[in-house]
Amino acid sequence: MKKIIYLAVFLMALTTTSCTKEWTAKKLTNTTWRCSDIKDATPIEYGELRFVSETSVEYWLKYQDASPEMEVTMLYTIDKKTITLKIKKEDDTIEVVDEGVIEGNSMTFLDENEEPMVFTKQ
């Protein structure tokens, strides 16, 4: 009987620790995500998404032999596993730039050629 109880407790612990982490805007704030496989004509070491608040994310690029540079600040929303990046235009309209999927500690977007860009949590 004790073996069955120990087995049940072990399985419950295993099940709860193996669940995928669900990200929220609050949990994303102050995190950095990096992609080292950005295809571009200019040699890029990596791109980073720096979540600076519950609504704002900065996109940084690190070109070879240069310091990282901030390219753009975007708005973002998150709904379960879907993250949507948006830019506020000069006329105050909002334009959706990209949608991606967050699974665990990776965030995947598609580039303009429909190639995956995988950002991992740093």
Give the pLDDT confidence of 20-75 residue by residue, as tens digits.
Answer: 578 999 999 999 999 998 877 678 999 999 999 999 999 999 998 899 999 999 99
Give the pLDDT confidence of 85-106 residue by residue, as tens digits.
Answer: 999 888 878 888 899 999 999 9
Could you give the C-alpha distances from 80 to 34, 76, 100, 102, in angstroms and in order? 21, 13, 11, 8
- List the domain boundaries for the chain: 21-121
The CATH number corresponding to 21-121 among 1.10.3720.10, 3.30.2010.30, 3.10.20.30, 2.40.128.50 equals 2.40.128.50
Structure token pair of residue 16: 């709860």
> What pLDDT score was predicted for residue 92?
78
Q: Tell me how crowded residue 54 is: count the other CB atoms within 10 A of its CB.
A: 14
